Chains A and B, each alone.
Chain A
């Protein structure tokens, strides 16, 4: 048997080597490999010396006391923030309205070509409404964190965190769409937004002043609130233009 490689020795140390018996008998015969294995053992055994602060038998009860209030209750602000529901409701209402118009036109006997064009326009319009809503909701999350008051204790950002997590998938989709249509400016803003949403979504439910500052710094460094606000206004403006005019100006987001 050739000398044993480092990877095999690591697997052997953890009892996961495929040829454990062969390695063991090789180590008995080969001094070089034995020395190498001992060196590895020494380091890994030293790692075990890293101490972990002790937690007493009451620790579980203390953890429970910290989370008890939030177990069994939905986050109390989730259903009260109007901005969580209003845009989604608006999108549904507008979507339903546009769909109704389409089916009314189709029933009145418009040509298939006209119906196809209208269908495409309606899809674009619904997408615009959705992107506008998305930016508006993102802006609200960023503004909530940017303006949150600092206190002595920790701040509960579980609603903002949940919102950020909910917004992430849509953001990814819109960013990919913007990239594939060559809209680099929009893609870049959505890319920045995605990074910050991810940070927020992966933050703890309660943050210290330092953690809150870090999040704010991220938002501030990228000028994100301003960019999202400007982009949102542009989308809303485009949304309010008549379809014919919008088509002349191009179909980018």
Chain B
């Protein structure tokens, strides 16, 4: 429940109440958006677009779900569209390039043994790369499950994909992440 019935007041056209909601939820939406898109600029776009869409659709919000879940739904779906669009453009740009990147081949060689900070930064980069290798659907479902703690049923409902397809997206995401990250993690032990 939002403080002071801000949602209800915003629904009745009180823009000051909507401002409170924006101030209250922006950081959480940004975190979600960044994890979904992996890109700060895109995440900012998602935040802005999420609140603009939320404002236009306020009349459709029903208090069955919490306001933050509803916002996450809007942000997830917009992020999903954005990632798909980006991937299409990237595929186009990269088509024709003969060399395939294999991000995991070089790390053990380049890892400076004693420098844990550099190493940890490299691991983080690898994690980002591995997340970028996921399809839009896999990444969205995985982020909602892993970082936001939403249940598989909730994710299926949020993305309109149903429970089984969501489960498969998460499994595929985990399998890909394991394939990408296990060599890195095992060198860290």
Contacts and interface: CB of A to CB of B under 8 A. Distances in A.
B174 A40 contact: yes
Interface string A30-61: 00000000011011101101111101000111
Given A64-B23, A68-B19, A71-B55, A47 B146 contact: yes
A39 B178 contact: yes
Interface residues of B, number: 52
Interface in A161-176: none
Nearest to A204: B45
A237 interface: no
A109 interface: no
Contact of B181 (A43, A64, A206): A43
A1 interface: no
A10 B174 contact: yes
A63 B26 contact: yes
Given A6-B171, A202-B81, A44 B146 contact: yes
Nearest to B80: A202
A63 to B, nearest CB: 4
A205 B49 contact: yes
A19 interface: no
Contacts of A68: 19
Interface size class of A (residues with CB under 8 A): 35 or more
Interface residues of A, dominant DSSP: helix
Nearest to A70: B52
Interface string A174-207: 0000000000000000000000000100111110
Interface string B105-139: 00000000000000010011001101100000000
B170 interface: yes
Contact of A46 (B22, B55, B174, B185): B185
A11 B164 CA distance: 13
15 contacts: A7-B171, A16-B152, A40-B178, A42-B185, A42-B189, A43-B174, A46-B185, A49-B127, A52-B31, A61-B23, A66-B48, A67-B48, A71-B52, A202-B81, A214-B89
Interface of A: 6-7, 10-11, 14, 16, 39-40, 42-44, 46-47, 49-53, 55, 59-61, 63-64, 66-68, 70-72, 199, 202-206, 208, 214
Interface of B: 13, 15, 18-19, 22-27, 30-31, 34-35, 40-41, 45, 47-49, 51-52, 55, 78, 81-82, 85, 89, 120, 123-124, 127-128, 130-131, 145-146, 151-152, 167, 170-171, 174-175, 177-178, 181-182, 184-185, 188-189
